[in-house]
Amino acid sequence: MKAMKVAVIGTGYVGITTGVTLAYIGHQVTCVDVDLKKLALLRSGKAHIYEPGLEELMHLSRERLKFTDAYAEAVPDADVIFVAVGTPSAPDGSPDLRYVQAAAEGIGQHLNSKFTVIVNKSTVPIGSGNWVESLVQSAYEAKNGKKAKGNFAVASNPEFLREGSAIYDSLYPDRIVVGAEREEALETLYNLYRPLIEQSFPEPAFQPRPNAMKAVPLISADLASAELIKYAANAFLSVKISFINEIAALAERVGADVTQIARGIGLDSRIGPRFLQAGIGWGGSCFGKDTAALVSTAKEYGLSMPIVQAAREVNYRQRERIVEKLQRELKILKGRTIGLLGLAFKPNTDDLRDSPALDIAQRLIKQGVKVRVHDPIALEQAREQNPDLAVEYCQNVMDLAEDADAVVLVTDWAVYRDLDWEGMARLMKKPLVVDGRNFLDKRRLEKAGFQHVGVGTGTNPQLVTAEG
Ligand code: UDX
């Protein structure tokens, strides 16, 4: 394999994982970020995000990995430059592209005459490839006084990694998607990813290769299709989750169990068993943002996306359902003390973006509830990022349980399954647990003295909400 020179602009989740993975499979990678604190940490071999395996892989790749705040140190030599900066949602749901713009301009100012592929890794709206190309071109022209002629091409290479499994997903992806108009760019990306496609890199001891894994399919597409693949994949998964949550609401009403239904439909190979876990719904940085962006892009083109829009509504409704379940059990919420187990939007991450727990906390506070929160990893971040949120941060689940009227399992962290539930039941005013992920062992909890209320389990008819 020919080692390539790679620059990665932005060291967020996607950027750092991409950079470290490419260094691990043999390329020379320079990561660029404006945040000097982050850079210092990364240079010392530490990751600024909690992601299992990331520091280990960084360590194994350290000789091929550099960190800098200077485009001049990364861009001129690069064969491939990844743009992996944030694209947060603007208030109207459209993505805020100012960081992508700054990166494209920085790249344009530092490109030299050798052929470079500029890859959009950030989830950017359809058509951004052309826009990035024109930004790079203008910045190049402003700097060099002449047009860049054929020395760069823009490509799209969407990322499908899940937080908490980012290293696994990067080393063993279901597929790699690349999109570009120029054949040369597609060829360069094929060569870059060859060790992943052929699975020829050494398997790291802490992240073994799945048994059946032989080769990874590479999908070569045009630019717009590659851009849309990312949105379509995330929207589809969002719809799948909201679909099962909608079925869960009906299951509760008719006395059926949504977990059995999910199994019953998931074994149909056309449907598949994954992403059919009913519960509080999705949070995180992708599904909410990408479904909003898809709806807003469709609108620009004179279309509506009723299915995706409905998935969003169902999802955010799930959070209110938890409050309704508590209300049904406790009757009056005002003055109650309720503990939330888990703040991160899902386990094995400290990411609090679009965190269902923070949303539920706010809804409960509005109802006059005293809210306590616990998370194995994200407690301090939550405190720092939400200085105005009037909750009690508990280091210990026993402090959370003491004299509480209920606890809600919001994030399915493995440690919550084996808490000292007997001890907690003794401490609580009312041993009620609302299991927002259908994650806990109901029978065990009931033996410990708890009343266990799940989502869509239908075992408790009085849980049904007025509108289903
Ligand atoms: C997602 C996509 O999976 C990934 O491909 C994309 O690149 C980024 O967005 P991520 O947000 O890290 O990844 O998490 P994921 O594991 O997909 O879970 C998203 C949310 O959906 C979590 O809040 C999770 O709890 C929830 N979820 C997931 C469900 O409620 N039910 C399910 O069955 C699956």
In sequence order, what DSSP letters do the residues of 102-136 get, joined into one string?
A: HHHHHHHHH--SS-EEEEE-S---TTHHHHHHHHH
User: Does the beta carbon of 275 sit less than 6 angstroms from any atom of ligand 1?
Assistant: yes
Please give the backbone phi and psi of residue 448, each rounded to the nearest 5 degrees, phi first: -75, -5
Protein fold of 5-221: Rossmann fold (3.40.50)
Q: How far is the CA of 281 from the centre of ligand 1 (A)?
A: 9
Q: What's the CA gap between 104 and 102, in Å, rounded?
A: 6
Mutate to test the pocket of ligand 1, among 170, 240, 282 (most ligand atoms within 8 A of CB): 282
Catalytic residue among 29, 286, 344, 425: 286
Q: Which CATH superfamily is domain 241-463 in?
A: NAD(P)-binding Rossmann-like Domain (3.40.50.720)
User: Does the beta carbon of 241 sit less than 6 angstroms from any atom of ligand 1?
Assistant: yes
Q: How far is the CA of 157 from the centre of ligand 1 (A)?
A: 20
Residue 286 appears among annotated catalytic residues: yes
Q: How far is the CA of 144 from the centre of ligand 1 (A)?
A: 44
In terms of phi and psi (left: phi > 0; alpha: psi -120 to 50; beta: otherwise), the region of 53 is left
Ligand 1 atom nearest to 169, measured from its CA: 5
User: Does the beta carbon of 358 sit less than 6 angstroms from any atom of ligand 1?
Assistant: no
- Report the length, in residues, of the chain: 468
Ordered per-residue pLDDT tens for the chain, 468 residues: 789 999 999 999 999 999 999 999 999 999 999 999 999 999 999 999 989 999 999 999 999 999 999 999 999 999 999 999 998 878 877 789 999 999 999 999 999 989 999 999 987 888 889 999 999 999 999 999 999 888 999 999 999 999 889 999 999 999 999 999 999 999 999 999 999 999 999 999 999 999 988 899 999 999 999 999 999 999 999 999 999 999 999 999 999 999 999 999 999 999 999 999 999 999 998 999 999 989 988 999 999 999 999 999 999 999 999 999 999 999 999 999 999 999 999 999 999 999 999 999 999 999 999 999 999 999 999 999 999 999 999 999 999 999 999 999 999 999 999 999 999 999 999 999 999 999 999 999 999 999 999 999 855 333 333 333
User: Does the beta carbon of 279 sit less than 6 angstroms from any atom of ligand 1?
Assistant: yes
Beta pairing partners, 453: 434
User: Does the beta carbon of 314 sit less than 6 angstroms from any atom of ligand 1?
Assistant: no
pTM of the model: 0.92
Q: What's the CA gap between 293 and 297, in Å, rounded?
A: 6
Domain regions of the chain by residue span: 5-221, 241-463
